[in-house]
Amino acid sequence: MQRFAFAAFSSGIAKGFVENDYLCGMMEEEKNKMKIPVLAAPLQGVTDNVWRMAHHEVFGGVDAYYAPFMRVEHGEVRRKDLRDVDPERNAGITLIPQILACQPDHALMMVEALKRMGYSRIDINLGCPFPPIAMHRKGSGMLAYPDLAEELFKALASVEDVQYSVKMRIGWDKNDQWCDILPLMETIKPVNIAVHPRTGKQQYKGELDIEQFEALLAASSWPVVYNGSLHNVEDIEQTIERYPTLAAVMVGSGLAANPGMFAPDATPDDYRRFHDRLVEGYTEQLNGGEAQLVRHLQDIWQTFLPGTGHKLFKAIRKSRTLDQYESAAAAALADVENALANAYSTEE
Ligand SMILES: Cc1cc2nc3c(=O)[nH]c(=O)nc-3n(C[C@H](O)[C@H](O)[C@H](O)COP(=O)(O)O)c2cc1C
């Protein structure tokens, strides 16, 4: 289990995550240091079962993976979404599936399907900022409609033997809309709330609203998980130090950019192995032919190793056949050490 130390842990909030065996045998001076889990954020189009299994097998270091949201389309749960969380395709990892819905009946359909697959812990998406989704009052769009959130929570609370968590923004178009939503969660008593401190309208741009995050953290009766712009282990350590009551941290684009973030001994060969697993996995799973496969692999490079040199990246983007792609990717991966060193000079 990847854990980060922080001092002066305030008792209670993260209890559920702390393993007793971990506490045994600690040195006296370490007794008031606790550690918290690291969660891999869901990234639609990136962190699917192929990515998760490759990550777990090659690098590891996260305590749980969140699956990208599933949804109901044309009156049924999308098959592709169900396949992605199929326990056989996620063997050996802790996976938390996520649902996105506005209508309570759609949410229940997904929860029942997940229960049948053996899941008893499900995440509720109140964070997606994508306009076509938010405009339908789903994801972060629901944060402007507490009455809809209340109906949704009530319906979900009626299902037995399921624990929920929530992944949310601070609001849709106002930065304090969380204030109206938080008390409604009493119905579902979430295991935790992962908060990305931006409004949905901000999408992924603009300043993180740390003031609102701190207000939410202070007001929440439920464990809070911080999520947003954690690019490396130092960012995580600083966050944990700053907010000793956090239950966990969640890492998204930072982990997609450098999947070896929590594997300090990872070698260039491990990055090649990780990439080879992706190619193998998508070759097996995608059935749209070579062009689709190449497009998907190119999409992965939108987030993977952002420090990759311009020419190397361009060759990946320009490839049209799998052979061309593979030689372009091999050249980029031969330069992985530079890409990692440059990653943060090229980022926001
Ligand atoms: C391409 C992309 C896809 C995403 N898909 C999801 C998703 O399916 N469910 C979700 O809750 N959040 C999703 N997010 C949001 C991330 O999980 C995370 O909250 C956000 O990127 C901020 O964290 P980060 O700065 O660590 O990336 C997505 C973000 C991106 C950029």
Judge contact between 226 and 216, C-beta under 8 A. no
pLDDT for 110 beyond 50: yes
What pLDDT is stored for residue 343 in this prediction? 82
Atom of ligand 1 nearest to the CA of 125: 11
Q: Which residue, judged by its Cα, is nearest atom 2 of ligand 1?
A: 43
Rounded distance between C-alpha atoms, residue 328 and residue 232, angstroms: 27
What pLDDT is stored for residue 1 in this prediction? 43
> Ligand 1 pocket: which of 38, 44, 347 to mutate (most atoms <8 Å of CB)?
44
Judge contact between 196 and 228, C-beta under 8 A. yes
Q: Which residue, judged by its Cα, is nearest atom 23 of ligand 1?
A: 228
pLDDT for 348 beyond 60: no
Measure Cα distances from 24 to 30, 31, 212 in Å: 11, 10, 37
Mean of pLDDT values over 117-126: 98
> Ligand 1 pocket: which of 43, 99, 138 to mutate (most atoms <8 Å of CB)?
43
Q: Which residue, judged by its Cα, is nearest atom 19 of ligand 1?
A: 196
Q: Which residue, judged by its Cα, is nearest atom 29 of ligand 1?
A: 43
Atom of ligand 1 nearest to the CA of 194: 19
DSSP 17: G
Amino acid at 59: F
Rounded distance between C-alpha atoms, residue 160 and residue 218, angstroms: 30
The structure's pTM equals 0.91
The beta strand positions in the chain, using DSSP E, are: 4-6, 34-36, 38-40, 64-70, 72-73, 76-77, 95-99, 121-126, 163-171, 193-199, 224-227, 248-251
DSSP helix/strand/coil, 134:
helix
Q: Which tokens in the block code for residue 106?
A: 């759609």
Q: Which residue, judged by its Cα, is nearest atom 3 of ligand 1?
A: 43
Mean of pLDDT values over 293-303: 96
Give the pLDDT band (50/70/90) at residue 58: very high
What pLDDT is stored for residue 27 in this prediction? 41
Residue 291 CA, ligand 1 centroid: distance in Å: 26
pLDDT for 299 beyond 50: yes
Mean of pLDDT values over 116-127: 98
Residue 303 CA, ligand 1 centroid: distance in Å: 12
DSSP 9: P
Atom of ligand 1 nearest to the CA of 127: 11
Residue 7 CA, ligand 1 centroid: distance in Å: 29
pLDDT for 13 beyond 60: no
DSSP 90: G
Report which secondary-structure segment, H or E, holds 213.
helix 210-219
What pLDDT is stored for residue 21 in this prediction? 34
Higher-pLDDT residue of 8 and 348 is 348
Query: What lines the ligand 1 site, CB under 6 Å?
Result: 41-45, 68-69, 98, 125, 127-128, 167, 196, 204, 227-230, 251-254
pLDDT for 7 beyond 80: no
Higher-pLDDT residue of 266 and 7 is 266
Q: Are strands 224-227 and 193-199 parallel, antiparallel or unpaired?
A: parallel
